[in-house]
Amino acid sequence: MLLKYFYDDKLAHASYLVGCQRAREAIVIDPGRDIEGYLAMAEREGLTITAVAETHIHADYVSGARELADRVGAKLYVSDEGPAEWKYLYLDGYTNQLLHDGDSFSIGKIKFDVMHTPGHTPESLSFVLTDQGGGATSPMGIFTGDFVFVGSIGRPDLLEEAAGIAGTAEPGAKDLFASMKRFRALPDHLQVWPAHGAGSACGKGLGAIPSSTVGYEKLTNPALQYDNEESFVRYILADQPEAPKYFAVMKRVNKEGPRVLGEGHHHQMLDLAKLHAALKSGTVIDLAPSSEFAKGHVPGAINIPIGMLATWAGWLVDYDKPTYLICKPEQLEEAARVLHKIGVEEIIGAFDAHSIQASGEADEVYSTAKPSELLPRIESDRVTLIDVRSNEEWNEGHIQNANHYFLGRLPSRLSELPKDKTVVVHCLSGARSSIAASVLQANGVKDVINMEGGYKAWVQADLPKQKETVSLSS
């Protein structure tokens, strides 16, 4: 047997290629949309990808299952558990097998036993692997998807928080408790292969180690220590990270079937003459470093530096409008790949950043200032101070007179801001607040100051702050 681990650090997403070297066949578990890595690995190992299995309908990235089925004819193994509204809708035309609890399927001499492990989502499955080609009669590991992570467990509130399906969080938590008890009954020696690592919003406190064992998780995973359902439900629903609003889009996309990109999919650089039309019709994202953007940018563009694109584009892009980029030509395809992974489909192309600077179109700026320079204006209420950090960060401590507007939800709350004051924006260090400054300016708030060094610099300067124990807003 061959087991290869793939990790997309931008999305904290783990996927796996499992190959039977006797049959020269392979299956990919929970593939991402960019399938080239799987194809290259299979070719390098002399294997043919004949199958794809998904643990559930993912919410945080676009699945590559349909892309593989379309490109290489891979058979789809997907869940048929859960309610009618969470069934796959794109399977016609592709070879597939619908899976239920207790089913099994094989790739060559490698057997996968199916466990229905609902809670994170109603249709969620786990796959228990036995390497029969090596003579084994007992399993060696389990692909848990978003059910059990290293050091954590999948959150049950996404359908309610992100998809807006009211009343599903607590029942999901109870389902998760029952699934957790089934997991604890598994043999301690089983390896655990999850679909996410640290940084994913699919759970809280995920570990950065790529794999674990059932026994180790039973000893150390906080979520696995509960024997009382009510206590478990309270624990698992508390202090979950903000659920990105694009998760609802991903659920629909992966259920209905992502658009097949196809081999050789690419994008184009655009004539600068189309810039103004782009600003009117869609979302224009400038990938420049924030320090460069602050000194001169196109009015109406938002700034998401390329290293932060995967984290924040899903919050800030309008999925119902076309997307355009301002970047260096060599950045276009990588940025487009990231956007496609989170379901941004209509990427029209990009405008060359150097040409824009040379044209004089980048004539809007915003200023920055140190905390000590801003203190008198903040204390005298001559500016509106906006803190764009997460709920957890805000609760740990914040600046007196600050207003909490989490960055991801800032666009929907712009009408709450006063129109007659300068807006000072800050986060922990200044990176997220630079994005916020661009969002504010793109939406008509022109007098914006980004606090240099953010809350960290404020604390280091020993300026007034306060601590809260409950969230004031989101």
Long-range (24+ apart) CB contacts under 8 A made by 130-136 are 131/1, 132/106, 133/1, 133/20, 133/21, 133/22, 133/108, 133/109, 134/1, 134/109
CA distance 322 to 309: 16
Question: Sign (positive/negative) of CA torsion 414, 456, 374, 438?
Answer: negative
- 3-class DSSP string for 390-457: CHHHHHHCEECCCEECCHHHHHHHHHHCCCCCEEEEECCCCHHHHHHHHHHHHCCCCCEEEECCHHHH
Task: Find, among 388, 400, 387, 282, the residue nearest to 344 by Cα.
Answer: 282
Closest CA to 76 of 252, 261, 337, 258: 258
* Amino acid found at 460: Q
Q: How far apart are CA 133 and CA 109, in angstroms?
A: 5
Three-state SS string over 197-251 comes to: CCCCCCECCCCCCCCEEHHHHHHHCHHHHCCCHHHHHHHHHCCCCCCCCHHHHHH
Does 327 qualify as catalytic in the annotation?
A: no
**Which entry of 20, 202, 327, 427 is annotated as an active-site residue?**
427
Are 350 and 301 within 8 A, CB to CB?
A: no
- Judge contact between 350 and 278, C-beta under 8 A: no
- What is the helix, strand, coil percentage profile of the chain, to 5? 35, 25, 40
Residue 158 structure tokens: 């996404």
Helix or strand or coil: residue 129? strand
Rounded CA-CA distance 202/208 in Å is 14
Tokens of 301: 């563009």
DSSP notation for 338-352: HHHHTT---EEEEEE
Among 138, 140, 116, 136, which residue's Cα sits nearest to residue 126? 116
As a whole number of angstroms, the distance between CA 217 and CA 154 comes to 14
**456/105 Cα distance (integer angstroms):** 53
Neighbouring CB atoms inside 10 A of 72's CB total: 15
Residues catalogued as catalytic: 427
